[in-house]
Chain A
Amino acid sequence: DQQVKQNSPSLSVQEGRISILNCDYTNSMFDYFLWYKKYPAEGPTFLISISSIKDKNEDGRFTVFLNKSAKHLSLHIVPSQPGDSAVYFCAASEGRVDSNYQLIWGAGTKLIIKP
């Protein structure tokens, strides 16, 4: 049973426009959410996170929105740049010490920025 779902395997966006990547989760105990970016042949790089006490967190061109009632989060990239072409993973954690803050991962969305 997938607790974290990224339903779009790929997304193509024009350079300069907004990229919106979506993630849904089923476990209401999740209270910490992260987005990672991964280039081929490299490890994932942490991008941005959000705690469940917030509904928005912004860092430069990246903004994550959390809708707890819908169990949905999204990553907005504005404006999109060619270097943003990568696979983006959504991950979530229950944030419990006894779970050692394990992350549950989505399957990833491949973002392609077209020039």
Chain B
Amino acid sequence: DVKVTQSSRYLVKRTGEKVFLECVQDMDHENMFWYRQDPGLGLRLIYFSYDVKMKEKGDIPEGYSVSREKKERFSLILESASTNQTSMYLCASSSAKGGNQPQHFGDGTRLSIL
């Protein structure tokens, strides 16, 4: 089974802080994704990466950056946290081999910015 592990289930930070969310997958997947989920809006893609050191902006990259130094690890960084970044953050990975493949998700990080 694919295992995607997010470092924290719940996190509380203050406005202006730099926040790091970590994600690790154990299936040697090429693709990794960061989403945020807000009620009534579904999942919105922040950034994704299809290879080590490669990154692509998703639909809502503003206020975020990412890092992928190793294939198994994909980090999301909130440069200067703001209250509108309070949300559920979801990391996912998928294989790039064999065409269409489902994405596999971690359990999410519920982030509150005070």
Which one, B42, B96, B108, contacts A43 given CB within 8 A? B108
In Å, the complex CA distance between A41 and B89 comes to 11
Query: Does B105 interact with chain A (Cβ within 8 Å)?
Result: yes
**Interface size of B in residues (CB-CB distance below 8 Å):** 29
In Å, the complex CA distance between A39 and B108 comes to 11
Given contacts A102-B48, A107-B42, contact A41 B107 (CB under 8 A): yes
Do A95 and B42 have beta carbons less than 8 Å apart?
no
Query: Does A79 interact with chain B (Cβ within 8 Å)?
Result: no
User: Please, which residues of chain B bring their CB within 8 A of the CB of A62?
Assistant: none
Which one, B42, B96, B103, contacts A106 given CB within 8 A? B42
Given contacts A41-B110, A42-B108, A43-B108, contact A49 B42 (CB under 8 A): no
Which one, A9, A93, A106, contacts B100 given CB within 8 A? A93
User: Please, which residues of chain B bring their CB within 8 A of the CB of A32?
Assistant: 100
Query: Does A7 interact with chain B (Cβ within 8 Å)?
Result: no
In Å, the complex CA distance between A108 and B35 comes to 15
User: Please, which residues of chain B bring their CB within 8 A of the CB of A105?
Assistant: 42-44
In Å, the complex CA distance between A103 and B48 comes to 11
In Å, the complex CA distance between A78 and B48 comes to 35
Query: Does A25 interact with chain B (Cβ within 8 Å)?
Result: no
Do A100 and B106 have beta carbons less than 8 Å apart?
no
In Å, the complex CA distance between A60 and B41 comes to 29
Do B103 and A100 have beta carbons less than 8 Å apart?
no
**Chain A residue with the shortest CB-CB distance to B56:** A100
**Using an 8 Å CB-CB cutoff, how does the interface string of B1-43 with A read, 1 for contact, 0 for none?**
0001000010000000000000000000001000000001111
Ranked nearest first, the 10 interchain pairs of A and B with the lowest CB-CB distance are A43-B105, A32-B100, A107-B42, A46-B102, A105-B43, A105-B42, A100-B50, A43-B107, A95-B100, A44-B105
With A43-B108, A102-B48 given, name 9 new contacts (CB 8 A): A42-B107, A44-B90, A44-B105, A100-B31, A100-B50, A101-B31, A101-B96, A105-B43, A107-B42
Chain A to chain B contacts (Cβ below 8 Å), 20 pairs: A31-B100, A34-B102, A36-B105, A41-B108, A42-B107, A42-B108, A43-B108, A46-B102, A49-B102, A89-B42, A100-B48, A100-B96, A101-B94, A101-B96, A101-B99, A101-B100, A102-B48, A105-B42, A105-B43, A105-B44
